[in-house]
Structure 1
Amino acid sequence: MKRIIAFLITFGLLVIFTSLDYSRVEGGSYEYYITHWEEVGVPNLVTAILADWRVYDSLGEATLLFTAIAGFYLLLGGKKK
């Protein structure tokens, strides 16, 4: 059962990561931030970057870390009685 759950988590992450758009923005990230920061609705460029774009990165890192810990816990047998 634990291996099935680990497989489903791995397969789900694979589906999510292959469906993402990895296209590059012309001019680099700096130019993109300068031209699109008004979309966030925050008057400060630095706050807009931290509040909007970086949040997705931090959320992804936390999700990846949690999934890795849960996967190792399941694969190693969980709590021994």
Structure 2
Amino acid sequence: MKRALALFIVLGLLGVFASLDYSRADGGSYTYYITHWEEVGVPNLVTAILADWRAYDSLGEATLLFTAIAGFYLLLGGKKK
């Protein structure tokens, strides 16, 4: 059962990664930040990047770390009795 769940999670992640758009944006992220930073409502460009876009990146990294820890916990058999 645990292996089936782990396999389901791995296949689901592979499906998500395969469906992502990996093409480069015209102008790159620098151009995007310069032209859209006022949408955040923060008067400083650096603070806007840290408060808005980087917050989503940090949340994604924390979610990935939690998922990896939970997956290893399940694969190793959970709590020993």
TM-score (norm 2): 0.82
Counterpart CA distance in 1 for 2:17 and 2:56 is 14
Counterpart CA distance in 2 for 1:71 and 1:18 is 20
Q: Does 1:32 align with 2:32?
A: yes
Identity of aligned residues (%): 84
Could you say which residue in structure 1 is the equivalent of 2:80?
A: 80
1:35-81: CA deviations, max 9, x gaps?
11122222221121112211221111111111111111111111111
Counterpart CA distance in 1 for 2:75 and 2:59 is 24
Could you say which residue in structure 2 is the equivalent of 1:70?
A: 70
Counterpart CA distance in 1 for 2:51 and 2:36 is 13
1:4-51: CA deviations, max 9, x gaps?
221222222222222333222222222221011122222221121112
Q: Structure 1 stretches (4+) deviating beyond 6 angstroms? A: none
Unaligned runs of 5+ in 1: none
Aligned residue pair count: 81
TM-score (norm 1): 0.82
Matches within 5 A, 1:1-81: 1-81=1-81
Counterpart CA distance in 2 for 1:33 and 1:10 is 33
Counterpart CA distance in 1 for 2:59 and 2:27 is 26
